[in-house]
C-alpha cells in the first residue's frame, strides 16, 4: 500500500525498449505502456524527473560468465535498444543505458538523482524480477524511498512476477497501482 510519495520523487521506467516489449509477458504490454504514460504525464505536470532506462548488455562482463541458462545472442541492430515510440518521452527526460540488471551499476543514475535532491523513486517497466527488481534493490541499498506502480510492471513469467511482488518488493518499498500513486502525488 502506498502511504506517501516524497516531494522530490523521480519516475524510473525500466527497459521499455523495442527488443523487450515485443517479448511475451504476463500482463498486456499495451496496459503497461498506458500506465507508464499516465505516470509520465503526472510527473511532467509536477515538474519531477522522468528517467528512461534501456538495456544494452552486449559485451558486458556478466554476459560472458558461466550460467545454467544460455544467454541469447545480442544484436548489433541499434533499433532494438531504442525506447518504444509508444512511450511519451521528451528530450527533457533523463536517458540511462545500463549493461546489467541494475541501472545504478556503472551508470550516472545515482548522480542524476542526487544532483536533483531526489529521495523517492516510483518504478515501472519490464521485467518485474530482473531489471526492475535489480535496480530497486540497489535503490534500497542507497536509501531511496521506493514505490512500485504494480500495473506498470510485468515479467516474462507469472511465477517470477508473483515471487518478486509477494516476497521482494515489500522488503524494498511500497506497492500500489498507477492511480493510487498519482492520487498520493496530488496530496
42 is written with which cell numbers? Answer: 503526472
CA atoms within 13 A on the CB side of 56: 16
Domains of the chain with bracketed CATH: 9-185 (3.40.50.850)
- The model's confidence at residue 78, banded by pLDDT at 50, 70 and 90, is confident
DSSP classification of residue 17: B
60 is written with which cell numbers? Answer: 558486458
122 is written with which cell numbers? Answer: 516510483
Q: Nearest-CA neighbor of 13 among 118, 63, 92, 88?
A: 88
- What's the whole-number mean pLDDT along residues 138-148? 98
Q: What proportion of the chain, given as a percentage, has pLDDT over 70?
A: 93
- The model's confidence at residue 12, banded by pLDDT at 50, 70 and 90, is very high
Q: What proportion of the chain, given as a percentage, has pLDDT over 90?
A: 87
39-59 pLDDT, tens digit per residue, is 999 999 999 999 999 999 877
Give the lowest-confidence range in 1-10, 12-21, 52-61, 159-168.
52-61
- The model's confidence at residue 76, banded by pLDDT at 50, 70 and 90, is confident
Q: Classify strands 145-154 and 120-126 as parallel, antiparallel or unpaired.
A: parallel
Give residue 77's pLDDT: 82
Is 154 in contact with 133 (CB distance < 8 Å)? no
What is this structure's pTM? 0.94
Amino acid at each position: 500500500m502506498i502511504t506517501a510519495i516524497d516531494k522530490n520523487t523521480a519516475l524510473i521506467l525500466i527497459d521499455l525498449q523495442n527488443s523487450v516489449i515485443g517479448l511475451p509477458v504476463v500482463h498486456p504490454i499495451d496496459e503497461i505502456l498506458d500506465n507508464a504514460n499516465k505516470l509520465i504525464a503526472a510527473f511532467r505536470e509536477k515538474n519531477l524527473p522522468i528517467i528512461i532506462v534501456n538495456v544494452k548488455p552486449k559485451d558486458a562482463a556478466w554476459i560472458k560468465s558461466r550460467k545454467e541458462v544460455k544467454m541469447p545472442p545480442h544484436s548489433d541492430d541499434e533499433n532494438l535498444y531504442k525506447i518504444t515510440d509508444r512511450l511519451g518521452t521528451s528530450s527533457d527526460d533523463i536517458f540511462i543505458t545500463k549493461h546489467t540488471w541494475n541501472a545504478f551499476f556503472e551508470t550516472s543514475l545515482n548522480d542524476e538523482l542526487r544532483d536533483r535532491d531526489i529521495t523517492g523513486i516510483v518504478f515501472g517497466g519490464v521485467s518485474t524480477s530482473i531489471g526492475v527488481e535489480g535496480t530497486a534493490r540497489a535503490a534500497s541499498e542507497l536509501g531511496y524511498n521506493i514505490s512500485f506502480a504494480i500495473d506498470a510492471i510485468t515479467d516474462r513469467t507469472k511465477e517470477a512476477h508473483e515471487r518478486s511482488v509477494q516476497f521482494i518488493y515489500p522488503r524494498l518499498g511500497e506497492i500500489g497501482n498507477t492511480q493510487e500513486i498519482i492520487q498520493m502525488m496530488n496530496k
